[in-house]
A and B are shown apart, each in its own frame.
Chain A
Amino acid sequence: MDPVTSIRPLLAVAVAGLAALAVLLLNNREKLRDAVSPVAAIAMFAIVVSMAPTVLAGRTVDLRLFEILPGIDFTFRVDALGMVFATVSSLLWIVAAIYSIGYMRHLKEHAQTRFFACFATSLAAAVGGAFAANLFTLVIFYEVLSLVTYPLVYHHEDEEGWTGSRKYLVYLMGASKSVLLAALALTYNIAGSLDFVAGGLLAQVDASAPLLTIVYFCYLFGFAKAAVMPMHAWLPAAMVAPTPVSALLHAVAVVKMGVFCVLRVIFHIFGTGLVDGLGLGIATAYLVSFTILMASVYALTRDDLKARLAYSTVSQLSYIVLGAVLLSPVAMVGGIIHIAAHAFSKITLFFCAGSIYCASGKRNISEMAGIGRRLPWTMGAFFVGSLSMIGVPPTAGFVSKWYLALGSVEAGEIAFLIVLLVSSVLNAAYFLPVSYVAFFGTEAQESPATVREIPMMTIPLVATAILSVSMGIFPNYFLALAEGVVR
């Protein structure tokens, strides 16, 4: 069917970009400045969702801006895969924006203007990437995202912040200025274009199998935001950032941009047929399975709550890639909807970690005994998020894991079914003790009465917990989009 031409993809990006500008201009008027982000987030979500009916009907929304190089245009195209990513990001920006205000005000953080401006720009980059119609456009937004999140990561500007943010940038820039750059140049050489094509751009041309294999792995490791081992070490290092930033990195924008790029390459640059023909599907599946299990083991050993969550993210991201490379339609659907499922649940968990820190100043799980009685809403939401991470019905995580499990059976790869089961057990092993200790542990010493819920943080985290459950009960929107990608 013919694509619809509309300015809305650009508008969605522009809303966030203008919001960043407005934040900078309103530097001295704190209340007005803080109002900008939630308002822009709602506007962006509305614009994104307004395109959903078109996309669900199997059409795309296109906007071709201009030619960059022969075969490469600056073009937006909203399709089902981009819609999944954009819906998740713009929806979660609304809650994250409100939560950030609560967090930043409570801790009286410095450089709030820079913080909110970078935050808004990172959303512009994420949605721009989601709507990019070719690798060139996508990579521009990908790099913008790396850059604007860098000041967010070094936000505290202390020794720890500089070290962690340095690692963050070294990994992301190092990967994109080496293997990713090579992959782009080689793809442009082989295909004469960098467009996303249904069925795969490279599937249309003749190229030697070894060369294609090299290009494929260059992409897989070049998009370091996807955190496939060994390109994962930046993620725990970036934990030095303020908690709303961690939520942004883990749920809303950064890592999702990484896996989104990997899925784009698998579906629309190589095409599932070519990935299968080269025998790369199973190879990648083993690689990411290793990541899934190793990262879970790392998570088990971490006492710092945010570090545990970080390794959990490394593990969960590889679920998404695993779904894609199993190459069975059901598994692919599972991988795609796990983008949303993981986002809703992981943002809940990070919000909870931030809420605990703001209320009590505690970071380590071993210090959180009995805190559930002080922060019942927070820890309740944490429990819901944990269940979704483990994949317990009726949460969002259950739906995606169900599809993943079914998909690995359909693909005839029972080994990966076992990986899924083992990792679910590991998930339970590192998440459930947190809730258990919080509710049933005894406090070492009576905590002061100031340890109580902060409404501006509690409301967003309860909202995302509800989202995690609702997606489990009503997964149809994301399922329909995912089926649109696979079809």
Chain B
Amino acid sequence: MGFPLLSLIVFTPAAGAAVLMVLRSDNAVRWTALGVTVLDLALCIAMLVGFDTSTHEMQFTETRPWVPALGIAYALGIDGISALFVFLTALLGWICVLASWVAIERKVKEFMISLLVMQALMLGVFCALDLFLFYVFWEAMLIPMYLIIGVWGGEGRVYAAFKFFLYTLAGSLLFLIGVIVLYFHGGETFDILALTAQDLPFRVQAWLFFAFLIAFAVKVPMVPVHTWLPDAHVQAPTAGSIILAGVLLKMGAYGFLRFSLPMLPEASVHYSTLMLALSALAIVYGGLLALAQDDLKKLVAYSSISHMGFVTLGIFALNLRGLEGGILQMFNHGVTTGALFLFVGLIYERTHTRSMANYGGLMKAAPVYTTFLALFTLSSMALPGTNSFVGELLVLSGGFAASMAVGTAAILGALLGAAYLLGMYRKVALGPASVGVRYKIRDVNAREMAAILPLAVFVLWVGLYPKPFLGIIDASVKHLLAQVHAKESGQ
């Protein structure tokens, strides 16, 4: 075991949170939080530089016994799939700090502490190789997120935070039962890799599959357990929305990739049609809901449901293109939707309205803002040349290979996406200047630009040259596919 890089990555934000506790001035808190998150990003970049893309094996592994009597260990490690999301989490981390710079006015210290603790826990989820440790991180995330929504949220924050808490907790309980069943069926260990190597009987697999499905589906979220999401998004502060959309939603899909597919391959194949149908439903239903919104934040929230439908569709197409596209789309959605929530936040800070009916002609007042908004809107609708198009093409290609009907439904979702996103842009940025919004509003400043630019870079980088990103996940995805189909054909 070499240098504990992953522990450093996971616990840097936590240590930063501890430092924040002793600081007094709000500005010192802000700058320290920014410093910590930038340092964490630098560590993640160092991790990616040292990452070996030619193998699916876990890398940077660390193992220390924790509760040996129960087979619990402190085990960290990442493969290509987790590496991408560790990076995404760190990338969005410092952007969240920037997005909260002036938007959070009271209890700044407490907010930044919640933010940093949240980041540490999310990174822990992606790095954990011990199921018990994973579950600890997974459940603990609820607390800071509950606080971020419930304390710093909008007017209906208490209801939204409570709903969020209840939904995810209900899912988590089923997950806990699943974990215990897995523990006893898998040789009384919490070692994720050892559990993956187990050959469970189909009956057990099927039960576990549905327990996990409900737990993960709430997080993704899949229709019909999605109703907490719009409430949580609308009430959450900007940084909360970025974390929710950017990282938390990925947790559900990550759960499918880390647990359902490799541990329950026969059940995954057996129920893949159901999963494809649910994905198609989410794509179309989410798109229709987004089309009907007037509130900017709700629109982006519902679009997330549709876009995450593409992710689960890709995953359960159970072929190479689908899986790679689904995972790439998780990353893309984090970047693009994170950016869109940031943009909604920026404009809300200036006008204190999110209703599109109050906007119009913003292009004239804030040309830089609207130009970048155009880029992210187009990215979200997956215009060729942007990041989401590469993912979408792969997902559709995999989807059509799995089922023509599901592919066709997804196309309908893509069309809906173009409709509500272009409609949103037209209402906000173009057209005659609206009277409802007080002009003149300020265009973006340097701090806001610093948050926007890196995301814009990734939109075009992944859109035109996705090879490095696909390269990171390639070996792991191929291995995952082999796991799923080897056990299937071994029957």
Interface residue from B407, B414, B430, B467 paired with A177 (Cβ < 8 Å): B414
A69 adjacent to B401 (CB under 8 Å): no
Per-position 1/0 for B117-159, Cβ under 8 A of A: 0000000000000000000000000000000000000000000
Asked if A185 is at the interface (CB within 8 A of a chain B CB), the reply is: yes
One of A135-143, A275-283, A357-365, A378-386 at the interface = A135-143
Instruction: Decide: A188 and B385 in contact? CB cutoff 8 A.
Output: no
B76 within 8 A of A: no
A451 vs B378: C-alpha distance when bound (angstroms): 45
Within 8 A of B (CB), among A157-182: 157, 162, 166, 169-170, 173-174, 177-179, 181-182
The reply to whether A162 and B466 form a contact with Cβ atoms under 8 Å apart is: no
Which one of B82-90, B244-252, B389-397 is at the A interface? B389-397
Q: Is the CB of A169 within 8 A of B422?
A: yes
Inter-chain CA distance A166–B401, complex, in Å, is 35
Among A74, A154, A188: residue with most chain B CB under 10 A: A188
The answer to whether B466 and A178 touch across the interface, beta carbons within 8 angstroms, is: no
Cα-based distance from A185 to B319 in the complex (angstroms): 14
Given contacts A68-B464, A178-B411, contact A185 B400 (CB under 8 A): yes
Residue in contact with B464 in the complex, picked from A74, A142, A144, CB distance below 8 Å: A74
A181 pairs with B390, CB closer than 8 A: no
Q: Which of B350-398 contact A (CB under 8 A)?
A: 378, 381-385, 390, 392-394, 396-397
CB distance A69 to B394 under 8 Å? yes
Q: Report the Cα distance A69→B432, complex, angstroms.
A: 42
Interface size range on B against A: 35 or more
Q: Are A185 and B385 in contact (CB under 8 A)?
A: no
Decide yes or no whether A186 CB sits under 8 A from chain B. Answer: yes
The answer to whether A147 and B378 have CB atoms under 8 Å apart is yes
Does any Cβ of A come within 8 Å of B431's Cβ? yes
Q: Tell me, yes or no, whether A314 is within 8 Å of chain B by CB.
A: no
Give the residues from 418 to 434 in chain B that come closer than 8 angstroms, CB to CB, to chain A.
Answer: 418-419, 422, 426, 430-432
Q: Give A181-196 as 1s and 0s: 1 = Cβ < 8 Å from B's Cβ atoms.
A: 1101110110000000
- Report chain A residues within 8 Å CB of B467: 66-68
How many chain A residues touch the partner (CB < 8 A)? 30
What's the minimum C-beta distance from B385 to chain A, rounded to whole angstroms?
A: 4
Q: A181 touching B411 by the CB < 8 A rule? A: yes
Known: A174-B418, A177-B418. A68 touches B411 (CB 8 A): no
Most central of B382, B397, B466 by chain A CB within 10 Å: B397
Asked if residues B465 and A177 are in contact (CB atoms below 8 Å), the reply is no
B276 to chain A, nearest CB (A): 15
A343, B412: Cα distance in complex, Å = 35
Which residues of chain B are near A147, meaning CB under 8 Å?
A: 378, 383
Q: Specify which chain A residues have a CB less than 8 angstroms from the CB of B381 in the assembled complex.
A: 173, 177
Residues of the A chain whose Cβ atoms lie less than 8 Å from the Cβ of B221: none
CA separation between A185 and B403, bound complex, in Å?
A: 13
Please indicate the chain A residues that have their CB under 8 angstroms from the CB of B470 in the complex. Answer: 69
Docked-complex contact B464 and A143, CB < 8 angstroms: no
What residues on B are CB-neighbors of A69 within 8 Å?
390, 393-394, 466, 470
Q: Which residues of B contact A174 (CB under 8 A)?
A: 415, 418-419
Binding site secondary structure of chain B: helix
Chain A residues lying within 8 Å of B383, measured Cβ to Cβ, are 143, 147
Contacts of B430 in A (CB 8 A): 154, 162
Is the Cβ of B418 less than 8 Å from the Cβ of A173?
Answer: yes
Which residues in A have their C-beta under 8 angstroms from that of B417? Answer: 177
Q: Name which residue of chain A comes closest to B324, CB basis.
A: A69
**Cβ of B414 and Cβ of A189 under 8 Å apart?**
no
Name the A residues within 8 Å of B378 (CB-CB): 147
Residues in B whose Cβ lies below 8 Å from that of A173? 381, 418, 422
Q: Is the CB of B422 within 8 A of A185?
A: no
Q: How far is the CB of B441 from the nearest CB of chain A, in Å?
A: 19
B400 partner residues in chain A, CB cutoff 8 A: 182, 185-186, 189
Distance A173 CA – B420 CA, assembled complex (angstroms): 12
With both chains docked as a complex, state the minimum distance between the C-beta of B408 and any C-beta of chain A, in angstroms: 7
The answer on a CB contact under 8 Å between A166 and B384 is: no
Given contacts A69-B470, A154-B430, contact A140 B394 (CB under 8 A): no
**A335 CB, nearest partner CB in chain B, Å:** 26
* Residues in A whose Cβ lies below 8 Å from that of B384: 136, 139-140, 142-143
In the bound assembly, the distance between CA atoms of A343 and B424 in angstroms comes to 36
Question: Is A189 a contact of B385 with CB atoms below 8 Å?
Answer: no
Contacts of A74 in B (CB 8 A): 464
Q: Are B397 and A185 in contact (CB under 8 A)?
A: yes
Point out the residues of chain A lying under 8 angstroms from B464, CB to CB: 68, 74
Q: How far is the CA of A94 from the CA of B486 in the complex (A)?
A: 62
Find out whether the CB atom of B418 lies under 8 angstroms from the CB atom of A143.
Answer: no
- Give B49-78 as 1s and 0s: 1 = Cβ < 8 Å from A's Cβ atoms: 000000000000000000000000000000
Report the Cα distance A154→B425, complex, angstroms: 14
Residues of A within 8 A of B392 (CB): 181
Contacts of B422 in A (CB 8 A): 169-170, 173
Q: Which of B390, B396, B401, B431 touches A68 (beta carbons < 8 Å)?
A: B390
A184 pairs with B411, CB closer than 8 A: no
- Inside 8 A of A140's CB, which chain B residues have their CB? 384-385
Separation of A383 and B393 alpha carbons in the complex (Å): 48
| Interface mask (A68-100 → B, CB under 8 Å = 1, otherwise 0) | 110000100000000000000000000000000
Verify A68–B414 contact, CB threshold 8 A. no
Q: How far is the CA of A140 from the CA of B465 in the complex (A)?
A: 13
Q: Is the CB of B426 within 8 A of A185?
A: no
Tell me the complex Cα distance, A143–B432, Å: 25
B25 to chain A, nearest CB (A): 42
Smallest CB-CB separation from B319: which chain A residue?
A189
Q: What's the least CB distance linking B329 to chain A, in Å? A: 14
Q: Is the CB of B385 within 8 A of A182?
A: no
A68 touching B466 by the CB < 8 A rule?
yes
Asked if A181 and B396 make an inter-chain contact with CB atoms under 8 angstroms apart, the answer reads yes
A66-B465, A68-B466, A69-B390 known; A182+B418 contact, CB < 8 A: no
**A162: B residues at CB distance < 8 A:** 430-432
Q: Distance (Å) between the CB of B478 and the closest chain A CB? A: 12
Q: Is the CB of B465 within 8 A of A68?
A: yes
On chain A, the residues within 8 Å of B408 by CB distance are 182
Asked whether, in the complex, the Cβ of A185 is within 8 Å of the Cβ of B407, the reply is yes
Q: Shortest CB–CB separation between residue B428 and chain A, in angstroms?
A: 14
- Tell me how far the C-beta of A453 lies from the nearest C-beta in chain B, rounded to whole angstroms: 36
Q: A139 to chain B: which residues have CB within 8 Å?
A: 384
Q: In the complex, what residues of A have CB within 8 A of residue B390's CB? A: 68-69
Complex Cα distance, B470 from A186, in Å, reads 21
Chain A residues whose CB sits within 8 angstroms of the CB of B432 once the complex forms: 157, 162
Tell me how far the C-beta of A110 lies from the nearest C-beta in chain B, rounded to whole angstroms. 11
Query: Is the Cβ of B396 less than 8 Å from the Cβ of A182?
Result: yes
- Given A139-B384, A181-B411, A188 and B393 contact (CB-CB distance below 8 Å): yes
- Tell me, rounded to whole Å, the shortest Cβ–Cβ distance linking B222 to chain A: 22
Contacts A140-B385, A177-B417 given: A188-B397 contact, CB under 8 Å?
yes
Docked Cα-Cα span, A147 to B466, in Å, equals 23
Is the beta-carbon distance between B414 and A181 smaller than 8 angstroms?
yes
Contact A182 B411 (CB under 8 A): yes
Q: How far is the CA of A32 from the CA of B305 in the complex (A)?
A: 50
Chain B contacts for A67, CB-based, 8 A: 467
- Tell me the smallest distance from the CB of B70 to a CB of chain A, in Å: 45
Give the complex CA separation of A178 and B409 in angstroms. Answer: 10
CB contacts (< 8 Å) of B393 on chain A: these are 69, 181, 184-185, 188
Residues of A in contact with B (beta carbons under 8 Å apart): 66-69, 74, 136, 139-140, 142-144, 147, 154, 157, 162, 166, 169-170, 173-174, 177-179, 181-182, 184-186, 188-189
| CB<8 Å pairs between A and B, sample of 7 | A69-B393, A69-B466, A178-B411, A179-B411, A182-B408, A182-B411, A189-B397
> Besides A181-B392, A185-B397, A185-B407, 9 other CB < 8 A contacts?
A143-B383, A154-B430, A166-B426, A173-B418, A177-B381, A177-B414, A182-B400, A185-B396, A188-B397
Interface residues of B (CB under 8 A from A): 321, 378, 381-385, 390, 392-394, 396-397, 399-401, 407-408, 411-412, 414-415, 417-419, 422, 426, 430-432, 464-467, 470
User: Shortest 10 CB-CB distances between A and B: which pairs?
Assistant: A185-B396, A177-B418, A178-B415, A140-B385, A140-B384, A139-B384, A185-B397, A182-B411, A143-B384, A188-B397
